[in-house]
Each structure stands twice: as C-alpha cells, then as structure tokens.
Amino acid sequence: MIDTTYSSSNTDCPPNLLLDGALGYSSLSPKRISIGRYSTDIRQAPIIDVFDTAEMVVLPRYSLPETIQIRDSESIEAVKSFRTLEDDWNGYGATKPSEAAILNSIRLIRNIENSARFKVDICYPLDNGGIQIDISAPPFDYELEVFDDSFELLKFNQSNSLIDTVTLPLDTIDYIAEYFQ
C-alpha cells in the first residue's frame, strides 16, 4: 500500500526513508537523487516509487547506544595484577600468589565493597602464596589473610593491638560483610 509522499523539502521526512533507501550515506559529492513514495506497510518490502528529484541530504550516521562498561574497583584490579608475579617476587624468596587465593580475594572484595560501609585500603600478597586485604571499619581495622581453602580475619584496635582472630571456611565469603556489622 502506497500511502505517503515525501520530497527533500519535506522536513518531516522520516529518517527511515533515507536509511531504507541507503541514500544518505554516499561518499560522493552531493548529487541529484530520486526520492519518491514508500510503503509504510511493514508486511511489504520497501518500495521506492520515483516521482521527483532532490539534492541529497547527508544525515548524521546512525549511532548505536553507548556501551555500558562495568569497571572493577582499584582493589580488584590490584589483586588481578598479582597474576603477573613470579616466585621470589619480593626478592626474599616469596611464593607467587595462588590462583585460588586470587579468586577468593576478588570474591571477598566484591562482597565487602557491595556493603558500601567498609573500605578496602590495600591488598598485598603474602609471601606464602596468600593475599592480605586491609579493611577500615572504624573504630577497628581488619586484616583478611586469604588462602586457597580458607581465610583468616584479624581485628585490630586503633592502637594496632590484635583483639580477635577468626579462621573462616570459604563458604562464609558471601556473608563476610555481616561480620563487620
């Protein structure tokens, strides 16, 4: 069904007319082109019925919606960077961080950061293949020592005195933020 007629002077010309006709993206200099009627019946293939001529209008290229990128926090990026360390990374004979400790640490940090109440200060590899995560949760500071199959939580007061030590199984990682509350 042919139901509409447009010309280049028609500012209401829907962009899909030119897009469907592939007329708006020529790299050639402006030239005379034909614009005619098209079908709005989606059951039919586009139909160009030439009846007039007009100057080509170069339209802005149709752009896709912006991609949303979810970036990891600096702490997680730091832990990921530990994968590049080799044995003796500290010059004193340290073992490189294990992949399991890295993955466990990332999971822990995500859970801690999702709580939004606590801040991961710094992550640093231990010399035995584990990873330490330092956390501020005033009035206390915490150190999490993360290993392949468990992690240990150390609680310090502001005088740096150790006031509690808890060894936790891996299945408590997802609930770690609750410990600080």
Partner 1 sequence: MTTQAEPEIHTITDEDTLHRRVKRIPNFITNGRITSAVFKISKLDLDNALSVNLERLVDDIYTTFDIDTHALVKIKAAVPISLGCECKHTPLPDNYAHSSIYNITTRQQARQLAASAIAFTSLDISGGPSSGT
Residues that bind partner 1 (CB under 8 A): 78, 81-82, 85, 89-95, 121-128, 132, 134, 143, 154, 156, 160-162, 165
Q: Closer to partner 1 by CB, 34 or 165: give it.
A: 165
- Provide the minimum distance between the beta carbon of 144 and partner 1 in the complex, in angstroms, as a whole number: 11
Distance (Å, rounded) from C-alpha 139 to C-alpha 27? 66
**Shortest spacing between CB 92 and partner 1, in angstroms:** 5
* Residues, the chain: 181
Give per-residue burial for 2-18: e unless 16+ CB within 10 Å, then b: eeeebebeeeebeeebb
Task: Kindly state the smallest distance separating residue 15's Cβ from partner 1, in Å.
Answer: 51
Q: Tell the smallest beta-carbon distance from residue 181 to partner 1 (Å).
A: 23
Closest CB to partner 1 among residues 11, 161: 161
Q: How far apart are CB 98 and partner 1 at their closest, in Å?
A: 14
For residues 87 and 98, the answer to whether their CB atoms sit within 8 Å is no
Which segments within the chain are labelled E, that is strand? 2-5, 32-39, 49-55, 119-125, 131-137, 140-146, 150-156, 162-169
Are 31 and 56 in contact by the 8 Å Cβ rule? The answer is yes
Among residues 130 and 176, whose Cβ is nearest to partner 1? Answer: 130
Q: Which is nearer to partner 1, 58 or 103 (CB)?
A: 103
Nearer to partner 1, 11 or 84 (CB): 84
For CA atoms 130, 136, 137, 138, give the dihedral sign. positive
